[in-house]
Amino acid sequence: MAQYDVIIIGGGPGGYNAAIRAGQLGLKVALVEGRATLGGTCLNVGCIPSKALLHASELYEMASKDFASLGIDVSPKLNLPQMMAQKSESVTALTKGIEFLMKKNKVEWLKGWGKIAGPGKVSVKAADGTETVHDAKDIVIATGSEPSGLPGVTVDNKRIVDSTGALAIPEVPKHLIVIGAGVIGLELGSVWRRLGAKVTVVEYLDRITPGMDTETATAFQKALTKQGMEFRLGAKVTGAKTSKTGVDLTYGPVAGGAAETISADYVLLAIGRRPYTEGLGLESVGVVPDKRGVIANDHFKTSAKGVWVIGDVTSGPMLAHKAEDEAVACIELIAGKAGHVNYDIIPGVIYTFPEVATVGKTEEELKAAGVAYKVGKFPFLANSRAKVNHEAEGFVKILADAKTDRILGAHLIGPSVSEMIAEYAVAMEFSASSEDVARTCHPHPTRSEALRQAAMGVEGWTMQA
Ligand code: FAD
Ligand code: NAI
């Protein structure tokens, strides 16, 4: 039995960043993780492998379709096993990197599945079945999330796959049906479409990417449709029949009407994720999770003294960087410092082509809150760098308070906007006005000039469009 200052349960972006910060602050810390590798969903079966496939498949499609117009004649041939292998190599390198960081920061990795065994106690069951109990002044729950299921659609990760299965389909599907027009469906649907699959997306709502600024979502759907992705919106899936070679999926209009059946060799179910608390022993400390997971009443504190919660397993956006920010703030509070997360400024990115990147409020949210705002908008069609690169799809839209000019939100669609959104996030963190960005010198020719031009647009003095 060992005594720790903090035991963290779960080795994903929430857990491993909490462990590093605890080590940095001189706390005696242990991290419990049952997977064979650290890094959680994000590194093992989420952010990292999906971005590896998005990058490779984007280059494959560019080489197939766009290189010739640049004067580069090539005949690319897909080597799917190699594409998968380079994905796995990246995952292995990064998960090993986390293991190194644990050692560097004197974090002890308790290998096995953790269970809260009463106030200040965590039991850990190793793969060989042995169980050890450890004491801690504070316990941080960082157990993440798992894919949500849908009655009548049984994931077997052969023909009906979840996101983990979709990262490892052994062949390019002839037809992939994606259930759910959210982040996972559109990213992984894009991967397989680029590699040659016909992709049909079946979505319950009458729009894609719910919660996203509507003008941006509409432009996004148009771009994906142009690439060949098909959408069946307002469609309720009622069942899926699997055979050895494929799946017959039945759905009907949500508004009522005749059911339809479509067939495909693979189906990806991606209708959201739910907090993961199985076997965690929450009852031993009187914590009762709800639909949003383990609830933090106040700054990551659960209803049980000394039990904290961060990341996907609690409320808020299920994003790696949100988990990471909560990890740092939570440990700083445990160490008696002033940890803080600004939930108004958490960027969200969809890594498709074009990419979509957003931060802050949408127009719909501002209207609903009765906030008077001004819009500045700039199309990449008028940005010289985007034009010379023949990648001029999309726009930058910035929303500023009509009275104070403070930036309230930004919504970007276009190539590389995942890298550009951080400029607006930093500006917002410093409570910048749109004029602050408009009067900041930006390098030419870069896509970042579109950020400035959109900010100029708030007061109507855009120069390049
Ligand atoms: P997790 O990463 O889920 O880690 C939790 C860990 O806890 C897991 O390793 C699990 O094994 C372990 N665990 C659970 N219970 C126990 C227990 N009792 N004992 C021991 N260990 C336990 N987010 C982004 O920001 N950007 C992206 O590009 C992105 N892409 C994604 C792509 C996909 C396909 C998916 C599925 C998700 C993606 N996400 C992305 C979301 C991101 O992965 C999560 O938001 C993030 O991993 C949450 O971190 P976490 O630490 O809260 O939980
Ligand atoms: P999501 O919440 O993004 O999208 C789910 C979609 O499925 C929604 O459009 C929803 O309306 C739809 N849906 C729900 N029930 C349905 C039904 N019965 N039939 C048809 N459609 C239905 O969830 P997703 O894509 O599964 O992703 C889960 C989480 O992972 C997200 O919260 C996201 O934040 C995170 N993630 C983040 C990424 C990123 O940051 N780039 C990449 C991938 C995942």
> Rounded to the nearest whole angstrom, what is the distance from the C-alpha of residue 182 to the centroid of ligand 2?
4
| 464 pLDDT tier (thresholds 50, 70, 90) | confident
pTM of the predicted model as reported, rounded to 2 decimal places: 0.98
Q: How far is CA 236 from CA 40, 152, 179, 241, in A?
A: 32, 12, 10, 15
Residue 429's SS3 state is helix
Nearest residue to 117 (alpha-carbon basis) of 7, 1, 282, 314 = 282
List the 230-232 sheet strands across, edge first. 160-161, 266-269, 175-179, 198-202, 230-232
Q: Dig out the tokens for 210 from the structure.
A: 């719910």
How many other C-beta atoms lie within 10 A of the C-beta of residue 142?
31
Residue identifier of the C-alpha nearest atom 12 of ligand 2: 180
Which tokens hold the place of 462? 């855009």
Pair 14, 40: CB distance under 8 Å:
yes
Question: Each residue of 402-428: pLDDT tens digit?
Answer: 999 999 999 999 999 999 999 999 999
Neighbours of 338 (CB within 10 A): 7
**Residue 1 in tokens:** 């039995």
What span, in angstroms and rounded, lies between the C-alpha atoms of 216 and 129? 51
Ligand 1 geometric centre to CA of 315 (Å) = 14
Contacts of 143 (CB under 8 A, 6+ apart): 9, 10, 275, 276, 277, 280, 311, 313
Q: How confident is the model at residue 2 (pLDDT cuts 50, 70, 90)?
A: confident
> What pLDDT, in 10s, does the model give residues 371-413?
999 999 999 999 999 999 999 999 999 999 999 999 999 999 9
Angle value at C-alpha 102, between 96 and 106, nearest 5 degrees: 150
Q: Which atom of ligand 1 is nearest to the CA of 273?
A: 36
Question: How confident is the model at residue 119, as a pLDDT?
Answer: 97
Q: Which two tokens stand for residue 166?
A: 């979709």
Atom from ligand 2 closest to the CA of residue 181: 9
Nearest CA to ligand 1 atom 7: 10
User: What's the pLDDT tens digit per position in 291-337?
Assistant: 899 999 889 999 999 999 999 999 999 999 999 999 999 999 999 99
Cβ-count burial of 248 within 10 angstroms (0-12 exposed, 13-18 middle, 19+ buried)? middle
Which residue's C-alpha comes closest to atom 34 of ligand 2?
318
Mean pLDDT, the chain, integer: 97
- What pLDDT does residue 140 have? 98
Domains along the sequence of the chain with CATH: 3-147+274-341 (3.50.50.60), 160-271 (3.50.50.60), 345-457 (3.30.390.30)
- Per-residue pLDDT of 106-115, as tens digits, reads 999 999 999 9
Query: What is the pLDDT at residue 1?
Result: 62
321 is catalytic: no
Residue 397: beta bridge partners? Answer: 377, 411
What is the CA(166)–ligand 2 centre distance, in A?
14
Rounded average pLDDT over 16-35: 98
The string of pLDDT tens digits covering residues 237-281 is 999 999 999 999 999 999 999 999 999 999 999 999 999 999 999
* C-alpha separations of 264 from 160, 173, 175, 258, 284 in Å: 10, 8, 5, 20, 46
> For the CA atoms of 28, 33, 39, 45, what is the dihedral angle to 10 degrees?
-170
Res. 465: pLDDT tops 80: no
